Amino acid sequence: MLEELEIDKELEKDKELRKAIKKLIGEGKFEEARTEMQKLDLEADKIIIISLEVLIARKEENRKKEKELLEMILELEPEDVKTMSSLIRIAREKNDRKTEKELLERQLEIEPENTIVINNLAKIEEKSNIDRAIELLEKQLKLEPENIVAMSTLTKLVREKGNTKREKELLEKRLELEPKNAIAVSSLIRITREEENKAGEEGNIEREKELLEKEKGLLERQLEINPKNTIAMSSLIVIARKEGNRNREKKLLKMQLDIMPDNVIVIENLISIEKNEKRKQELTEMLENIKTNKMEGDFNEIFTEEKEELDEIGQARELIEKSDSKDMLNKIEEIKELIKEEDATLQVLIQSEAAYKAKIYKQAEGYLKLHKKESKEDKIALKAINKALSILQVKNKLYDALKWKEIYDEYEKAREAQSNGQTTNEATNNKKIQLDDQER
């Protein structure tokens, strides 16, 4: 009994000593901390001593030494997941994907239901092994059925693999969780139209009608989410015309006219179905006035299903600007989905801006530095990347949307000039001339 009490006392002393050493390290008193560490038992407390040295190396920002010390701990404790996590962080900072992947696989063997590990491994695999990434994300969704980020990434990957059935299931689940998710609704409309066309080609009239009703419901949902969505209105007008529903067609055309009072096509369509002669005359006069004053814009694109109300970059940046730093983490996958068709430099800039807004500065810097290595011969890309990196060097690191916008504007002008064989200044001047001509 006395021996047990003595052991307890010694353990308590050891605990207090470690606490005191950590405090000294926190205060930057490294030499004093090392002096106190000599009081620890070198054999019994070997891992503790190395761990305290890790803290000092981290404070000194000596990543090389920190890594070496962490590897020593992992040799002594091969299943220490905390040490693995620290080594994964260092590998990620250095963009060492191979080491990061090896450590994540090792961690997953020890913690097969660790969803953070599963997700991080899936992010690496999606660039080189889509099937493995899909397998990992499916596993994550079984463990976290309402994880929107995993669901969004998985949806993108199964679409790339051509698995429309699974994509549709995931999108429907996404809408259950987020009834006002416009991207999910748009994607379901696309799938429904594909199925509708297939049913039409096969002569399956009943199935075609059923799918048309489903498309109509989804388009109505788009209007609930955004009452000014003229693209959804145009599609509903086409359906109303097919069904011979003149009242619905007229109502939708009036809604469009409220939003776009100078739209020639909308006015012409209203004239064609208007029975009231007085109203028809008013619309005809309105149309003539627009043509006479040359005020008609090029609104034919409202009937093109592929056109969005904002370009993808505009939508992505609007999401970034409107989200706070905490919410930004949940929006990054949605942003990636929006910009997947853009060129590589714009994708990297958007992802870096999103990470910057989320205050994940190392990740933002990592995106940019990796792309910089890949763009050695591209002067336009390098200029944009360097400007973004200079934003990351600012000490207070307050998010400034205008500074980021300047980078996109300059990049797009330079690309336009490059495609036309002009200098950036020539492209800017030509753009001004075009705008002046349009105004005239």
**Residue 302, pLDDT score:** 38
CB-neighbour burial class of residue 84 (10 A; exposed 0-12, middle 13-18, buried 19+): buried
**Residue 325, pLDDT score:** 67
C-alpha count within 13 angstroms, C-beta hemisphere, residue 27? 10
Query: How far, in Å, CA of 369 to CA of 375, rounded?
Result: 10
pLDDT tens figures, 109-140 = 999 999 999 999 999 999 889 999 999 999 99
The CATH number of 17-111, from 3.30.420.40, 2.60.120.380, 1.25.40.10, 1.10.150.170, is 1.25.40.10
Q: Is 280 helix (H, G, I), strand (E, B) or coil?
A: helix
Q: Is 399 helix (H, G, I), strand (E, B) or coil?
A: coil
What count of other Cβ atoms lies within 10 Å of the Cβ of residue 41? 11
Query: How far, in Å, CA of 31 to CA of 56, rounded?
Result: 10
CA–CA distances in Å: residue 159 to residues 95, 191, 353: 27, 10, 26
Which residue type does 177 have?
A: L
Query: How far, in Å, CA of 233 to CA of 219, rounded?
Result: 8
CB-neighbour burial class of residue 74 (10 A; exposed 0-12, middle 13-18, buried 19+): middle
**Whether pTM exceeds 0.75:** no
**Residue 311, pLDDT score:** 64
The kind and range of the H/E element at 80 are: none
Per-10-residue mean pLDDT, the chain, length 440: 38 69 81 78 73 84 88 88 90 90 93 93 91 95 94 93 94 93 92 91 91 93 92 91 90 91 88 87 85 52 41 74 69 70 80 81 81 81 87 74 83 79 50 40
Backbone φ and ψ for 179, nearest 5 degrees, come out as: -60, -20
